[in-house]
């Protein structure tokens, strides 16, 4: 843990009003901690959210904040970052806010690679409107608006992110504090759009949706914590690993069929080619572990920096730099 002059308390404001047991509480604690460890001054941070349970989060931050309108947080954050690149911007969205009504802004923000951090709190349900299926709800999901089950397939956030040429994708479980803090810090350090999918439980309308990874012992069995440069091992005793097989991945047990640690894939989050990152991000139980940690982290020019660079470049070439000089570039005639 790095030393900064801030503590988690410096970033706290207000009293969260989420339901007792909601995954957002745990995430908020991790977020405060991560910001303290990063040490960016609270007045240089803007937390921008859309609408939904999780989008209430800016009210619990002692930073600049804007709780905006449904789905538009990515567009609003884009404008804020382009206008003021000195700000550190966190966008908070839920799965409905970010991927349904805000899907277009989500993909285009990622495509442009605006240097903001998008936290996608995914509980696979509309909570604030009291329990309708969301774009990440599984096919057949029964909810108030799908009493006979949905007849549509869900989005998988990583697929959208990579489809939009995303350069940073990480995943954590809301109640899994330590790794969440690390993932948030890595996202903040990444230049460009960072997408952090937070698997978050809705205790009222979709309790248990992330049961596979809800408890520590479940995560030991059903999740793999990816770390750049480390072999992809998991299991209570790190006895399982991932290997490439043909176009896909397979789970192997060390010692079985002559498999040794040498055979296990080593995670390369910085690889330009996103093919394996996508494979990892889409792994699901029970056959595969759910990937947690930083899955992809690739450098690329950011939109806001490119905007600034182009302005500097054009300004150096053009001979007019203020309004009077601009006027003088036109064809004029004089009345004497």
Partner 1 sequence: MADEMIVKELDDVVVRFSGDSGDGMQLAGNMFSNISATVGNDISTFPDYPADIRAPQGTLTGVSGFQVHIGSGKVYTPGDKCDVLVAMNPAALKTQYKYCKPQSVIIIDSDSFTKKDLEKAKFTLENPFSELGIKNEVIEASITTMCKESLKDSGLDAKSIGRTKNMFALGLVCWLFHRDIAVGEKLLREKFAKKPAIADANVKVLYDGYHFGANTHASVSMSYRVPSKEQKEKGKYMDINGNKATAYGLMAAAEKAGLQLYLGSYPITPATDILHELAKHKSLGVKTVQCEDEIAGCSSAVGAAFAGALAVTSTSGPGICLKSEAMNLAVIAELPLVVIDVQRGGPSTGLPTKSEQTDLLQSLYGRNGESPMPVVAATSPTDCFDAAYMACKVALEHMTPVVLLTDAYIANGSAAWRLPQLEQYPAICPPYVTPDMAAGWTPFQRNPENQVRYWAVPGTEGFMHRIGGLEKSNETGAISTEPENHHLMTQLRAEKVERIADSLPALEVEGDSDADLLIVGFGGTYGHLHSAMDTLRAQGRKVALAHLRWINPLPKNTAEVLRKYPKVVVAEQNMGQLAGYLRMKVEGVCLHQFNQVKGQPFVVQELVDAFTKIIEE
Minimum CB separation from partner 1 for residue 47, in Å? 8
Does the footprint of partner 1 cover residue 38 (CB under 8 A)?
no
| The binder of partner 1 chosen from 79, 163, 208, 255 (CB under 8 A) | 79
**Longest CA pairwise span in the chain (Å):** 96
Compare residues 67 and 228 and give the one whose CB is closer to partner 1.
Answer: 67
- Residue 149 to residues 19, 186, 206, 246, Cα–Cα distance (Å): 26, 38, 14, 35
The residue behind tokens 């994708």 is 169
Does the footprint of partner 1 cover residue 335 (CB under 8 A)?
yes
| The binder of partner 1 chosen from 51, 110, 278, 298 (CB under 8 A) | 51
Does the footprint of partner 1 cover residue 247 (CB under 8 A)?
no
DSSP for 59-82 reads GGBSSEEEE--TT-HHHHHHHHHH
Phi, psi of 36 (to 5 degrees): -60, -40
Compare residues 282 and 307 and give the one whose CB is closer to partner 1.
Answer: 307
Q: Binding residues for partner 1, how many (CB under 8 A)?
A: 57
Minimum CB separation from partner 1 for residue 135, in Å? 18
> Please, what sign has the CA dihedral across residues 262, 265, 269, 272?
positive
> Of 97-156, which residues contact partner 1 (CB under 8 A)?
104-105, 108
Does the footprint of partner 1 cover residue 320 (CB under 8 A)?
yes
Residue 97 burial by CB count (10 A; 0-12/13-18/19+): exposed, middle or buried? buried
State how far the Cα of 197 lies from the Cα of 294, in Å rounded to an integer.
10
Minimum CB separation from partner 1 for residue 332, in Å? 5
Does the footprint of partner 1 cover residue 94 (CB under 8 A)?
no
Minimum CB separation from partner 1 for residue 195, in Å? 17
Judge whether 180 and 225 are in contact, CB under 8 Å. Answer: no
- Among the residue ranges 22-30, 144-152, 171-179, 305-313, the one whose residues contact partner 1 (CB under 8 A): 305-313
Compare residues 65 and 157 and give the one whose CB is closer to partner 1.
Answer: 65
Minimum CB separation from partner 1 for residue 158, in Å? 20
Helix (H, G, I), strand (E, B) or coil at 245: strand
The residue behind tokens 């921008």 is 48
Helix (H, G, I), strand (E, B) or coil at 102: coil
State how far the Cα of 182 lies from the Cα of 172, in Å rounded to an integer.
9
Minimum CB separation from partner 1 for residue 117, in Å? 15
Minimum CB separation from partner 1 for residue 136, in Å? 21
Minimum CB separation from partner 1 for residue 295, in Å? 25
> Six-digit token pair at 302?
């950011």
> Six-digit token pair at 154?
């869900």
| The binder of partner 1 chosen from 4, 62, 146, 150 (CB under 8 A) | 62
Compare residues 270 and 318 and give the one whose CB is closer to partner 1.
Answer: 318
Helix (H, G, I), strand (E, B) or coil at 290: strand
Pairing of strands 168-173, 88-94: unpaired
Rg (CA), the chain: 22
Q: Which residues bind partner 1 (CB under 8 A)?
A: 13-14, 41-44, 46, 48, 51, 58-59, 61-69, 72, 75-84, 86-87, 104-105, 108, 307, 310-311, 314-315, 317-318, 320-324, 326-327, 330-336
């Amino acid at each position: 843990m790095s030393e900064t002059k801030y503590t988690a308390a410096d970033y706290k404001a207000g009293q969260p009003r989420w339901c007792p047991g909601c995954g957002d509480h745990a995430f908020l604690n991790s977020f405060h901690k991560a910001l303290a460890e990063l040490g960016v001054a609270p007045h240089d941070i803007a937390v921008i959210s859309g609408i939904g349970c999780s989008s209430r989060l800016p009210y619990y931050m002692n930073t600049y904040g804007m709780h905006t309108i449904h789905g538009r947080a990515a567009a609003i954050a884009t404008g804020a970052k382009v206008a003021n690149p000195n700000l550190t911007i966190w966008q908070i969205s839920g799965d409905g806010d970010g991927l349904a009504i805000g899907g277009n802004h989500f993909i285009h923000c990622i495509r442009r690679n605006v240097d903001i951090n998008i936290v996608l709190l995914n509980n696979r349900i509309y909570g604030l409107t009291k329990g309708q299926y969301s774009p990440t709800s599984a096919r057949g999901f029964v909810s108030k608006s799908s009493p006979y089950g949905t007849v549509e397939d869900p989005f998988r956030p990583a697929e959208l992110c990579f489809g939009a040429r995303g350069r940073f994708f990480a995943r954590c479980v809301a109640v899994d504090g330590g790794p969440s803090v690390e993932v948030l810090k890595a996202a903040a350090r990444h230049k460009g759009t960072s997408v952090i999918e937070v698997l978050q439980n809705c205790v009222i309308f979709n309790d248990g949706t992330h049961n596979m990874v809800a408890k520590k012992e479940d995560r030991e069995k059903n999740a793999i914590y990816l770390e750049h440069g480390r072999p992809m091992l998991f299991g209570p005793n790190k006895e399982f690993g991932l290997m490439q097989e043909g176009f896909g991945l397979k789970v192997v047990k060390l010692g079985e069929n002559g498999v040794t640690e040498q055979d296990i894939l080593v995670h390369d989050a910085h690889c330009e080619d996103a093919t394996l990152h996508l494979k990892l991000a889409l792994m699901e139980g029970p056959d595969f572990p759910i990937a947690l940690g930083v899955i992809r982290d690739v450098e690329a020019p950011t939109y806001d920096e490119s905007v600034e660079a182009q302005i500097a470049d054009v300004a150096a070439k053009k001979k007019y730099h203020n309004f009077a000089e601009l006027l003088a570039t036109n064809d004029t005639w004089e009345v004497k």
